[in-house]
Chains A and B, each alone.
Chain A
Amino acid sequence: IAGITQAPTSQILAAGRRMTLRCTQDMRHNAMYWYRQDLGLGLRLIHYSNTAGTTGKGEVPDGYSVSRANTDDFPLTLASAVPSQTSVYFCASSDSGTSGYTFGSGTRLTVV
């Protein structure tokens, strides 16, 4: 692993199903983030974690939950997927506020 790994790369999911998107980093960054990116809307923050054991809500948290049991992992769960959650999901991390974010390669999710 080098940087941030996201899995799966893409997924087609039936509406109403539960799904967990995985994110793992090996840089020992304290802060981690989940974004969704939709055409014309840019990156929107779903949830974030400033350090292991803590999480916070971003701009569009409804329908999503996260956990941060350790420094490396930050999974995003959709409890009951809906078509409006069709998007590209990016996980990111940073070690300090001003050093910029490192992004994973993204998960393309289609809810049908």
Chain B
Amino acid sequence: GQNIDQPTEMTATEGAIVQINCTYQTSGFNGLFWYQQHAGEAPTFLSYNVLDGLEEKGRFSSFLSRSKGYSYLLLKELQMKDSASYLCAVMDSNYQLIWGAGTKLIIKP
């Protein structure tokens, strides 16, 4: 079956760095996405990785290892507004997104 695993909840301190991991097993692979979702709002696109390596975009970076079925989202210089759920999703061989349950990130002052 297809499976996306990510931690349910993480806590970090304002100004620090946090890494949110995602492991996946899917039928085919056409890229991995990270989305941010604030409570009561819609998910918004953060990043897309299809090749191995690190993609940096401001304070956020996303890493992919296809051979290990592994990705992480790295958030630097954490701000209170980064408190949200972070969703990992993999595009399978049918170009459908398979979603993880999300990681709720709590930022403390």
Contacts and interface: CB of A to CB of B under 8 A. Distances in A.
Interface of A: 40-45, 48, 58, 90, 97-106
- The binding surface of chain A is classed by DSSP as loop
Interface of B: 8, 30-31, 33, 41-45, 48, 50, 87, 89, 91, 95-97, 99-102
Nearest to A3: B42
Contacts of B100: 42
B40 to A, nearest CB: 8
Given A43-B87, A90-B42, A98 B96 contact: no
B91 A98 contact: yes
A106 B42 contact: yes
B68 to A, nearest CB: 21
A40 B104 CA distance: 10
25 contacts: A40-B8, A41-B101, A42-B87, A42-B99, A42-B102, A43-B43, A43-B87, A43-B89, A43-B99, A44-B99, A45-B97, A58-B96, A90-B43, A97-B31, A97-B91, A98-B30, A98-B50, A100-B45, A100-B48, A101-B45, A101-B97, A102-B45, A103-B44, A105-B41, A106-B42
